[in-house]
């Protein structure tokens, strides 16, 4: 039996699960699309993870979750550590490259820049209100041009002379692209132009005024895009490192954090076990709480008939109602 | 005459008291809800900032409840707010509402002018009665401020945060109901005593200062209750503004209370030497002020598209570097999901924490 730690990163676009061993080596990774249903994604991901390592025989000693669905996945799996994406990405990158100073992370809806000094996050920024320049926008443009997103970067990399595309706003970038396309510019040059526009947008909006120092690590699903990698290198004028498992770095970070916590404090994991997640019937529902004028949309998640969690209420009335029950339950036992 | 006014945090409590002293009937707008947002957004220009939209939502709901007079603050200067009363009147008239609008302008020289303005508002009120009404409203604001300061102190330290919030919410209602200054002070005092009996965690919490645009700082509906979100993460927040200070500086002409403005303007140098409208200069001044008062981090908040805050935002990175304090800017708009907000807050708190605690303890705390 091998001891290992589970890291889960549920993002808007992809759900990633990884197993790492005591030495932080990756044993197995699963990358799948969330497709708007994080509960299903976690269950499916976990099932295929268990299946692929079933021969080796592993025990899960700890669980860490991150990403925008981190609370949801922690309810489903029972997490020891629930961490925001910034910390998770920084931990994973700093583990692989101890001297890293800047992390560029571009995911489905979010793009971030993280500055590290001596392996500690020193400053960070995230895109605020505009999702132009993130994975979702690239996805959309690829399907509009009828190019497989996997080939998007390769096609861009073929370009010799990028076309100038307006990158200020996703909508205008799109109309600029259509205009250039109708003028007859080659597809490769337009795609590469888009990549450069996105990089400029990223540096202006996310990296606003921050000094980017090397070594620079580029991670997140979008790091697969060779065109964007090239555009970053060109604009920044320095080499960019892309880790081998760039697409699951958040999950790796969550796994490392879980491992550190378990090993330091020598506690048992909160992990609920494989049967809990694989054999239950999970349902989510929401209702508007009429308790006060905030009228919060309260989400409830159930396994069979048992309520696992509430959230979404600003006053925490629903959230804490459950805590009381569980603590009373513990006292009885 | 049935008077209404826009919401801004706990301000309605003081205004209700003031209006009662002026022998006016008050119809406060219902608390800001999803419907307020919807009404405001539907009827406002798209590019206007959140405060205008919420004001407008407040007015529509109050007019529906029978109000016929709106009291709104005016102002001058390059920030759009000075013009909002006029814009709002225009929109409401366009929607077919019948009402009267009274715009309170900050007096430029004499306290006498202000009292005259407020006296004119009341029905057959003597000068002396107007002064008394102002004092009564002011006493409630003071009680609320004392309460808020203690709340900010106890929330991050308490083990049972629900209880602290409950005590605070209860006390706010009691201050609203109080019929005199003594009763209001007593309500605040009792709540503080109760908070003092709550079990506290060991150790000092992180200290984070909040700076930025005034409406967003005061109105929990506009900032998603950022003070409580942070308090629940065991962070002690320092508010850069309290209602008493703001009203004192901007409506009362600086007569009621000693102003901190001079200190802020001095702090802002050499980063920003001029007024840039709205609250821009104060934001820069407060950022420096907090940095020098040993705060672990500073968060700037404002409504999206707010020009003075955009100016301040571009100056903050250099303050952050020179004074050695991490800073973050958050813009608020009509998003209803708080996931993005709590991720950013968590990440910021995490970063501040890891910077402060020596390397060996990182993982234990993480």
ipTM of the complex: 0.73
User: What pLDDT is attached to residue A63?
Assistant: 92
Structure tokens at A144: 């509009």
Which distant-in-sequence residues (6+ apart) come within 8 Å of A128 by Cβ? A205, B304, B330, B331
Name the residue among B162, B165, B354 with its Cβ closest to that of A121: B354
pLDDT mean over A129-148: 78
A-chain residues near B221 (CB < 8 A): 294
Share of chain A residues as helix, strand and coil, in percent rounded to the nearest 5: 45, 25, 30
Note whether A275 and A289 are same-domain residues.
Answer: no
Is residue A93 included in any domain, yes or no? no
The closest of B309, B168, B300, B304 to B228, measured between CA atoms, is B168
User: What pLDDT is attached to residue A277?
Assistant: 78
Inter-chain CB proximity A124 and B317 less than 8 Å: no
Q: How confident is the model at residue B360 (pLDDT cuts 50, 70, 90)?
A: very low
> What is the separation, in whole angstroms, between the first and last Cα of chain A?
31
Last residue of a domain, one of A182, A216, A242: A242
pLDDT mean over B84-106: 89
Note whether A127 and A161 are same-domain residues.
Answer: yes
User: What pLDDT is attached to residue B107?
Assistant: 61
Q: How confident is the model at residue B365 (pLDDT cuts 50, 70, 90)?
A: very low
User: What pLDDT is attached to residue A219?
Assistant: 92
Q: Is the pLDDT of residue A333 over 70?
A: no
The closest of A161, A232, A160, A224 to A196, measured between CA atoms, is A232
User: What pLDDT is attached to residue B174?
Assistant: 94
Mean of all residue pLDDT scores within chain A: 83
- Cα(A299)–Cα(A312) distance, integer angstroms: 6
B-chain residues near A74 (CB < 8 A): none
Q: How confident is the model at residue A173 (pLDDT cuts 50, 70, 90)?
A: confident
- Cα(A293)–Cα(B37) distance, integer angstroms: 12
Note whether A232 and A188 are same-domain residues.
Answer: yes
Q: Phi, psi at residue A257, to the nearest 5°?
A: -65, -40
Note whether A181 and A257 are same-domain residues.
Answer: no
CB B245 within 8 A of CB B321: no
pLDDT mean over A180-194: 88
Residue A328 burial (10 A CB sphere; 0-12, 13-18, 19+): exposed
Respond yes or no on whether the N-terminal peptide bond of residue B327 is cis (omega within 30° of 0): no
Note whether A238 and A112 are same-domain residues.
Answer: yes
User: What pLDDT is attached to residue B139?
Assistant: 92
User: What pLDDT is attached to residue A18?
Assistant: 93
Note whether A137 and A227 are same-domain residues.
Answer: yes
Inter-chain CB proximity A260 and B366 less than 8 Å: yes
| pLDDT tens-digit readout, B237-266 | 999 888 888 777 766 666 666 777 888 888
Note whether A59 and A111 are same-domain residues.
Answer: no
- Which domain covers residue A288, as residue numbers? 282-332
Q: Is the pLDDT of residue B335 over 70?
A: no
Domain count, chain A: 3
Do B204-365 and B2-125 have the same topology in CATH? yes
B-chain residues near A126 (CB < 8 A): 340, 343-344, 347
pLDDT mean over A69-91: 88
Note whether A103 and A228 are same-domain residues.
Answer: yes
User: What pLDDT is attached to residue B363?
Assistant: 41
CATH 3.40.50 fits B2-125, yes or no: yes
Structure tokens at A31: 């990358």
Please give the biggest Cα pair distance in chain A. Answer: 75
Inter-chain CB proximity A87 and B366 less than 8 Å: yes
What's A188's domain CATH number? 3.30.420.40
Q: How confident is the model at residue A130 (pLDDT cuts 50, 70, 90)?
A: low
CB atoms within 10 A of CB B47: 7
Which distant-in-sequence residues (6+ apart) come within 8 Å of B246 by Cβ? B214, B218
What is the domain partition of chain B in residue ranges? 2-125, 135-202, 204-365
- Kindly report the pTM of this predicted structure: 0.82
Q: Is the pLDDT of residue B286 over 90?
A: yes
Inter-chain CB proximity B346 and A210 less than 8 Å: no
**Across A112-121, A319-328, B119-128, B168-177, least confident range:** A319-328
Q: How confident is the model at residue B362 (pLDDT cuts 50, 70, 90)?
A: very low
Inter-chain CB proximity A86 and B333 less than 8 Å: no
Q: Are strands A26-33 and A14-21 parallel, antiparallel or unpaired?
A: antiparallel
CATH topology of domain B204-365: Rossmann fold (3.40.50)
B-chain residues near A122 (CB < 8 A): 326, 351, 355
**Contacts for B187-193: CB closer than 8 Å, 24+ residues apart:** B187/B143, B188/B143, B188/B144, B188/B146, B188/B147, B191/B147, B191/B150, B191/B167, B192/B146, B192/B147, B192/B150
Inter-chain CB proximity A126 and B344 less than 8 Å: yes
Note whether A136 and A232 are same-domain residues.
Answer: yes
CB atoms within 10 A of CB A165: 24
How many angstroms away from the CA of A119 is the closest CA of chain B?
10
| pLDDT tens-digit readout, B63-86 | 999 999 998 887 666 678 888 888
Is residue A111 included in any domain, yes or no? yes
Note whether A124 and A48 are same-domain residues.
Answer: no
For tokens 């290198």, the residue is A233
The DSSP output letter for A22 is: T
CA B72, B73, B79, B85: dihedral to nearest 10 degrees?
Answer: 30
| pLDDT tens-digit readout, A52-77 | 887 777 888 899 999 888 888 888 88
User: What pLDDT is attached to residue A132?
Assistant: 62
Note whether A267 and A321 are same-domain residues.
Answer: no
Note whether A47 and A166 are same-domain residues.
Answer: no
């Amino acid at each position: 039996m091998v001891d290992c730690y589970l890291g889960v990163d549920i993002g808007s676009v992809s759900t990633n699960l990884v197993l790492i061993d005591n030495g932080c080596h990756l044993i197995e990774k699963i990358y799948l699309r969330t497709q708007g249903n994080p509960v299903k994604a976690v269950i499916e991901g976990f099932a295929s993870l268990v299946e692929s390592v079933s021969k080796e025989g592993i025990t899960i000693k700890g669980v860490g979750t991150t990403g925008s669905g981190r609370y949801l996945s922690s309810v489903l799996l029972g997490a020891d550590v629930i961490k925001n994406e910034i910390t998770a990405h920084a931990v994973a990158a700093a583990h692989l490259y101890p001297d890293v100073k800047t992390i560029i992370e571009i995911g489905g809806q979010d793009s971030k820049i993280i500055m590290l000094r001596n392996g500690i996050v020193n400053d960070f920024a995230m895109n605020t209100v505009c999702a132009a320049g993130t994975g979702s926008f690239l996805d959309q443009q690829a399907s509009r041009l009828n190019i497989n997103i996997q080939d998007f970067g390769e096609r861009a990399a073929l370009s010799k002379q990028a076309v100038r595309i307006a990158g200020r706003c996703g909508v205008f970038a799109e109309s600029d692209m259509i205009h250039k396309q109708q003028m007859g510019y080659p597809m490769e040059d337009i795609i590469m132009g888009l990549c450069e526009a996105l990089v400029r947008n990223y540096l202006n909006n996310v990296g606003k005024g921050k000094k980017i120092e090397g070594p620079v690590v580029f991670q997140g699903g979008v790091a697969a895009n060779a065109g964007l990698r090239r555009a970053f290198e060109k604009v920044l004028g320095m080499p960019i490192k892309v880790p081998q498992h760039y697409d699951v770095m958040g999950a790796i970070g969550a796994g490392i954090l879980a491992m550190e916590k378990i090993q330091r404090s020598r506690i048992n994991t909160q992990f609920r076990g494989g049967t809990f997640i694989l054999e239950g019937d999970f349902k989510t529902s929401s209702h508007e709480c009429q308790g006060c004028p905030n009228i919060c949309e309260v989400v409830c998640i159930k396994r069979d008939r048992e309520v696992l969690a509430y959230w979404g209420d600003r006053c925490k009335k629903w959230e804490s109602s459950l805590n009381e029950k569980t603590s009373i339950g513990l006292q009885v036992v | 005459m049935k008077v209404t006014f826009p919401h801004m945090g706990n301000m309605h409590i003081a205004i209700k008291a003031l209006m009662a002293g002026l022998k006016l009937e008050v119809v406060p707008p219902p608390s800001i809800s999803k419907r307020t947002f919807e009404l405001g957004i539907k009827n406002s220009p798209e590019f206007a900032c959140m405060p205008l939209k919420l004001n407008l939502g407040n007015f529509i709901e109050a007019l529906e409840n029978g109000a016929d007079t709106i009291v709104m603050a005016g102002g001058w200067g390059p920030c759009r707010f000075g013009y909002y009363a006029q814009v709002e009147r225009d929109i409401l008239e366009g929607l077919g509402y019948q009402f009267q609008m009274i715009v309170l302008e900050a007096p430029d020289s004499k306290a006498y002018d202000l009292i005259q303005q407020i006296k004119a508002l009341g029905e057959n009120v003597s000068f002396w009665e107007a002064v008394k009404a102002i004092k009564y409203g002011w006493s409630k604001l003071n009680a609320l401020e004392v309460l808020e300061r203690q709340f900010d102190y106890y929330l991050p330290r308490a083990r049972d945060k629900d209880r602290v919030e409950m005590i605070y919410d209860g006390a706010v209602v009691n201050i609203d109901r109080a019929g005199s200054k003594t009763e209001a002070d007593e309500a605040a005092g009792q709540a503080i005593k109760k908070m003092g009996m709550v079990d506290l965690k060991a150790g000092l919490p992180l200290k984070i200062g909040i700076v930025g645009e005034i409406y967003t700082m005061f109105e929990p509906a506009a900032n998603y209750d950022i003070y409580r979100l942070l308090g629940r993460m065991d962070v002690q927040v320092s508010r850069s503004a309290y209602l008493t200070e703001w009203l004192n500086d901007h409506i009362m002409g600086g007569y009621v209370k000693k102003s901190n403005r001079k200190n802020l303007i001095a702090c802002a140098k050499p980063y920003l030497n001029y007024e840039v409208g709205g609250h821009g200069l104060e934001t820069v001044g407060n950022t420096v002020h907090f940095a020098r008062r040993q705060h672990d981090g500073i968060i700037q908040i404002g409504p999206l598209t707010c020009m003075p805050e955009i100016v301040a935002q571009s100056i903050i990175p250099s303050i952050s570097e020179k004074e050695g304090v991490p800073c973050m800017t958050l813009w608020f708009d009509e998003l209803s999901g708080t996931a993005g907000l709590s991720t950013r807050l968590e990440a910021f708190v995490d970063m501040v924490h890891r910077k402060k605690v020596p390397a060996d303890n990182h993982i234990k705390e993480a």
